[in-house]
Amino acid sequence: MKNAVCLNSNTYHGFTVEEAVAGARAAGIGYIELAAVRGWTEHARHEMTDEEVTALKSLLAENQIEAIGMCGHTNILTQEGRGDFLENLDLAQRLGVQYVVTSTGETHDDATVIEDDSELVGILRDLAGEAQNRGVRLNIETHGNNYGSGQEVAALLEKVGHDNLGITYDTANAIFYGDVVPHEDLAASVAKVDSIHLKDKAGERTEWNFPAVGTGQIDFDKTFTALAEAGNNAPLSIEIEFTPEGPGSVEAVHEALATAADNTRKLLASH
């Protein structure tokens, strides 16, 4: 397998982008998916000046790290959220990333029940076009109260019918939100998967417990087999969200990331 190993900088929630870049470099990771989630992890912001964007690009270049994606989650069901997301698409273009990730409702504590998806289908069709105009792909994450599994997101994208849309498959969210077995669900939706949030899961299904990749309960051997059998080379964006208590220190995040990166490379080598 030749999938790129990437850091999802949300792993460094509560820490700086400089610390995230340092952790990625120490772990031997050459790619990053920048978190630009307002009010949560703001390693990039659409309000950044040209000088700030240049400084961020320089930081990455100095550490031999390429920004390939961006988490730009907003609640696209609201007019305000769509406005913010359009500004995130502008930011993505300025940063030169390949794709932007969002979900279909609130970023956290999503309680929205979507019984009629016709409005959402239209919203996604419009946003996919806006992203295409900026030279980036739009990825919808397996996340939230309505589209927690790959098969659910794939069915939604079929209705949208736009070729600039793909799935960001979050392996742990498929359990936490989707209540499915990740490798089985991934195999059924892999044709539409553009990127992976490689995240492990521990504890009971709805417990917020996302440790380093390879130290939890997910069968990543079968997950990687599903990707390999489909010839899917989506980037593997390592994400560690720990427990509600958090990691405790940036050193603990660095250590967890190093473990996750090592385990990911071993999985790639064996598939």
Question: pLDDT per residue over 168-184, tens digit each?
Answer: 999 999 999 999 999 99
Q: How far apart are CA 144 and CA 112, in angstroms?
A: 9
**Tokens matching residue 167:** 């799935």
Question: pLDDT per residue over 213-250, tens digit each?
Answer: 999 999 999 999 999 999 999 999 999 999 999 999 99
pTM of the model: 0.96
Please report the DSSP string for 75-111 in residue order. Answer: -TTSHHHHHHHHHHHHHHHHHT-SEEEE-SS-SSS--
Cβ pair 128, 165 in contact under 8 A? yes
The residue range of the domain holding 138 is: 5-269
Q: Which residues contact 267 (CB under 8 A, 6 or more apart)?
A: 214, 220, 221, 224
Question: pLDDT per residue over 14-69, tens digit each?
Answer: 999 999 999 999 999 999 999 999 999 999 999 999 999 999 999 999 999 999 99
User: Partners of 36 in the beta sheet?
Assistant: 42
Q: What is the mean pLDDT of the chain?
A: 96
User: Average pLDDT of 106-114?
Assistant: 62
Q: How far apart are CA 84 and CA 105, in angstroms?
A: 13
Tokens 């307002």: give the residue.
38
Tokens 């979507």: give the residue.
114
**What's the total number of domains in the chain?**
1
Domain of 102: which CATH number?
Answer: 3.20.20.150
Residue of 202, 198, 139 lying closest to 168 (CA atoms): 139
The separation between CA 66 and the C-alpha centre of its own chain, rounded to angstroms, equals: 16
